[in-house]
Structure 1
């Protein structure tokens, strides 16, 4: 019952006391937003550009990004830049990190915004991972480490690749969009990460919640490993927001969700707060996260697994 009330509070929070007007001038700051061409990501990019940040939108669809860049430039008078990134392919993740590293010597903020929710049950990444875990967790970790340090599956992979640039900034932030749905996960069922009998028996929503649980675990482990080196790692619940993340849901479910959710502009506020507010710390922003997400042994185990899974990506 506690989980039900917690979900209710997280989905319908009180009115925000913080707004985009509180964002300081971001001149000289370099920021990457994955999936920044639509939904929460697009609203995030818009607010950052309005405050003079240099923003890169990392996404796999250049046509859509180009259209978003044009629209955002008209709205803010500042131009974002495109980096090709497919989080369902670790080779694409590494190429994206390499492309960014040729353009910039430092990265101030990496916002892991792109994600997948309840896709076709048969959908897998190029490497054979469950699509939701591969995109939402592995890819983001890998690029973060590649840019901020130097090595890790989708988001995790991307984060890992960017660690050198994050460290070079002196004081950097990794912002990971999780979900309050992570509290419904029963930890990580390692047998469901790749396709097999266990994964086939697991509901897509449960796999999604598991990936969001792992997001928080990775964010906590990043804070433990790199907090003293100037990297602030934060995970967050953006609220119940209707975006194209639910593009694979049935029309009926989308219609119901539209009555219960907020728009992307409001959904971007927590991300923007985590990315720019001076008081943001290494934490999970929203209500109290699942207690197991801060488990030291689990964090170390997941990190070691990610490193092992990506060690042969050349």
Structure 2
């Protein structure tokens, strides 16, 4: 098992990828949702999927920004993505999004839980009062996935390989994370934390959520994978302190690289063997924070997540 320092070096300066976007097979007939795909890694992911003939839903909260992205993607690929209104920081919005999706589609082959917020000001919370980073990155994606489980499992039964996929975007910072249940919803304990601590907690939560999905639904045909997309030049840096930005930019990579690992897991035959794995850049099997392998902690988190959405 890597030490934290070894992992930071290994994942910050990865070897050249042996997987290329051109290696993606033809995806004709496949339906995908990519959350947060109006910009950044999500948009790069959507672009690659469209170029390989998938039907792609751009799940985002801002209709104008989504429309701009869809227009841009059509100019680049000749294919038109579909807007799905989704605000992961509002549980009611998530429920409405899934209702809209299942009214239009009978199948879902790939769910990219890609969206995320990073280093937000600590006072910011979700519509239901959860820490904005955990509420968006983990609780929001948990609820979205939970509501889509029926269509994912049904689709798996109808595919030749008997599988569908849920790809969960984490971060290198998951290695510094811990789960403090007292800080997941707003309160005095949460307000004493640094934004960076809350972010790392949420990214660990992504890996733990992914592992629980793999354990609970693997036998029903769902492949669940967590991945670190790499240290990338995206607008997620905007809330970070200047000094931290300068340090991180010493190990930053082009945005186009960021989609490689999740596309490898989400589209290739190799991805069908990855249930419960953590992936490192670029397109490699990695080793997660050991807390993500703590089955009791993962089950406790799942129970907490279930409790938060039972009355939505």
TM-score, normalised with respect to structure 2: 0.92
SS at match of 2:226: strand
Q: 1:211 aligns with which of 202, 224, 235?
A: 202
Q: 2:154 aligns with which of 142, 147, 168?
A: 168
- 1:247 equivalent to 2:238? Answer yes
How far apart are residue 242 of structure 1 and its match? 1.7
How far apart are residue 121 of structure 1 and its match? 1.1
Equivalent position of 2:79 in the other structure: 78
Equivalent position of 1:151 in the other structure: none
CA contact (8 A) 2:33 2:58 kept: yes
CA offset digits 1:28-75 (Å, max 9, x no partner)? 000000010111111100000000000001000111111111111111
- Counterparts of 1:142-157 in structure 2 under 5 Å? 142-146=143-147
- The CA RMSD over aligned residues, in Å, is 1.4
Distance 1:307 1:197 in 2: 23
- Structure 1: gaps spanning 5 or more residues: 147-161
Equivalent position of 1:227 in the other structure: 218
CA offset digits 1:74-123 (Å, max 9, x no partner)? 11111100011111100001111111010101100000111011111100
How far apart are residue 252 of structure 1 and its match? 5.7
Equivalent position of 1:238 in the other structure: 229
Q: 1:189 aligns with which of 159, 180, 192?
A: 180
CA offset digits 1:138-159 (Å, max 9, x no partner)? 000101110xxxxxxxxxxxxx
Distance 1:184 1:176 in 2: 18
SS at match of 1:202: coil
SS at match of 2:270: coil
CA contact (8 A) 1:180 1:289 kept: no
SS at match of 1:169: helix
How far apart are residue 249 of structure 1 and its match? 2.4
Distance 1:213 1:250 in 2: 21
How far apart are residue 2 of structure 1 and its match? 2.9
* Residues paired across the two proteins, number: 297
CA contact (8 A) 1:12 1:240 kept: no
CA contact (8 A) 2:174 2:203 kept: yes
Distance 2:131 2:69 in 1: 29
